[in-house]
A and B are shown apart, each in its own frame.
Chain A
Amino acid sequence: MKITKVIKRVLIDFLLITGIYLLQTSFLPFLFGSGFCPNLLLILISAMGFIYGSFTGMLSGLYAGLLMDSSASGPFGYYMLIFVVIGYVNGLFTAFYYDDYLTLPMILCVISELIYNASLIFLKFISTGNVDLSYSIKKIVLPEIFFSLLITLLLYRVILHFNRALDYKEDKRGQNVA
């Protein structure tokens, strides 16, 4: 891969993650009130790991986690850890990645949500000492998974389109040079 392509991709992913983070913490909750629940950042990292493999997934996860940690109250680094692991796990399935096959990304979305929420239940258990498990699952985890699945379908298409357009442009440019 050419170095300019790498730089471009890193830059775009960097902006994409930052944008989604801002959207999720500072825009959507104020637009929809506190009832908004799909986890956009998680979906993005999951998709990146799946499309580009573990390495990209982990680095994207590290950056996304850093952003989350900067505005979280728990131990600094906790979200980084969660997102790195999610990026890695999703990257394991990159060999089965086909453009128009949506079942696997949706399964991976659910797996990622489960890892994420299990980690947060654990953190909450450590910090408060008690978690009402059945209530939390019913009221927080399940709605979040449901909405995240919906958004996965949508966001997945957008990322795919975005990257295809980029690939197409680069291929064309490559041909011109050759």
Chain B
Amino acid sequence: MQTVRLALHAMATRFELLIHGEDMIQLRGAGEEALAEIKRLEQQLSFYDPTSEISQVNCNASEGPVRVTPRLYSLLRTAADVHYKTHGAFDVTVGPLMRCWGFVRGAGSWPDAHARKEALSRTGMDKVVLDDAKRTVAFKLPGMALDLGAIGKGYAIEEAGMFLRDCGVTSALLHGGTSTMVAIGTPPQDGNGWPIGVSDPLEDSQMLTSTSIRDEAFSVSAPKGKAFQKDGKVWGHVIDPRRGYPVQGAALSAVAHPSATICDAISTALLAMGRTEGKQVQQKFRGMRTLCAYHSTGAMDIISLGFNSTDSTTQQ
């Protein structure tokens, strides 16, 4: 049994790939092809690259329908479906809000009320017209923008996983920035699957939960990282597209599901949803496990649906 490790810097994060198998030369070839696909998708989906397909859409879709590639179209359809199933908590049109809150190229800042309202009025998947027959995208209002930041990484990982399988890979783990991952088969030393730990958002050394994944994807989201403080509160880069404010209350969410695209999107959406709504969402996707941690006085509320929670105050 041989092991190959590969890495790629793309989508502002580091992707790592671990493959086990018999023929090292073949394993590397397969891994390089999978990572090249991620690089290609970055070029296609990047909000920041002016030559990306998404930038072309953002530039032109308010003037009229823009024809897109079938795969981008189907990804936008998936995004619309998740939007619908999460009652708008997941929304790829948050671009104007992200910009207005200063999260596009910075760590964020408090916007004035008018700018926030203005950005909110240009947010909403319901203002995006998808035409299945012509495979076009159009915006109902000027100033709208698609930002696939909350789904693109999962999509890239899912596609790369498909490439690995096509190349005959039967045991691999691929992750992007340790927040979204896909597991193919099991590692050689553990028939149960690839062990995954989720660290406590308040105490990195503590584990919130641990699980195994096998032919399954996993994603974790937290409004940490890009954030700023105001009035004693921390305002992170995950924005609730329905209210127009960075999410408050949710500390972390984790999702396991066969599709990395769905995992990535739902883990973001869960942060913007309340406890009840979060539970309802899990039931809408077959084979989904979720875990949400909410800030609470003195401790954290943890709602786990299918995961083992190690230090929960509330477990359902």
Q: Do A and B come from one complex?
A: no
Interface residues, chain A, CB within 8 Å of chain B? none
